[in-house]
Chain A
Amino acid sequence: DTEVTQTPKHLVMGMTNKKSLKCEQHMGHRAMYWYKQKAKKPPELMFVYSYEKLSINESVPSRFSPECPNSSLLNLHLHALQPEDSALYLCASSGPLKNTEAFFGQGTRLTVV
């Protein structure tokens, strides 16, 4: 199994809603990532978890709250988002060994109305 599964695929939420994005992998990877991608732009790193601990936060606003409940799961909790937060949110994971590539999920297309 070399898949990173993200749910939901599409999400529309109001600015006062609370929602969560979910990411799951069963490759034994110990690093997991959230990226944000706006239209026609490259992915931008948001958070990195290493061995279930947050290791990198790229100065992301607190309305985005990551959580890594175990080595296979990564969540991104969303609250009080703005329309400009509408984007494709990508999850990725990579192995503990050197030289291993990252595997990306297909993303969640988020629209904030």
Chain B
Amino acid sequence: DAKTTQPPSMDCAEGRAANLPCNHSTISGNEYVYWYRQIHSQGPQYIIHGLKNNETNEMASLIITEDRKSSTLILPHATLRDTAVYYCIVRVAFWGGNAGKSTFGDGTTLTVKP
């Protein structure tokens, strides 16, 4: 699985958009970009994933560059409850078994401030 690089920390004002970048310059054509977050001492929570098109769901939007070497997770209106560590993971088509492992990078600690 491709390696990812994320900034170690970011701050965001409550109510503003939080834009979290991720570099994955060695991504392969069959690898997806997944985003998870982990609120303190809880299990990681799935946010969104995509292959090459931009994706949006009720939690966030995922913007993937045309060359697929980087992506940005956008939380449109950050709240205090969005304070967490955000992980960008690149892996082959699906998360299961023999398709390989999913390696978590160090992630970005997002702090949303009042």
Residues of A within 8 A of B (CB): 4, 30-31, 41-45, 48-51, 55-56, 58, 88, 90, 92, 94-107, 109
Contacts and interface: CB of A to CB of B under 8 A. Distances in A.
Contact of B98 (A50, A103, A106): A50
Nearest to B48: A101
A64 B90 CA distance: 27
> Chain B, interface size: which category?
20 to 34
Interface of B: 32, 34, 41-46, 49, 87, 93-98, 101-107
B51 to A, nearest CB: 8
Contacts of B103: 45
Contact of A102 (B41, B46, B93, B105): B46
Closest 4 CB pairs between A and B? A50-B97, A104-B43, A42-B104, A31-B96
Contacts of A51: 97
A104 B44 contact: yes
A103 B94 contact: no
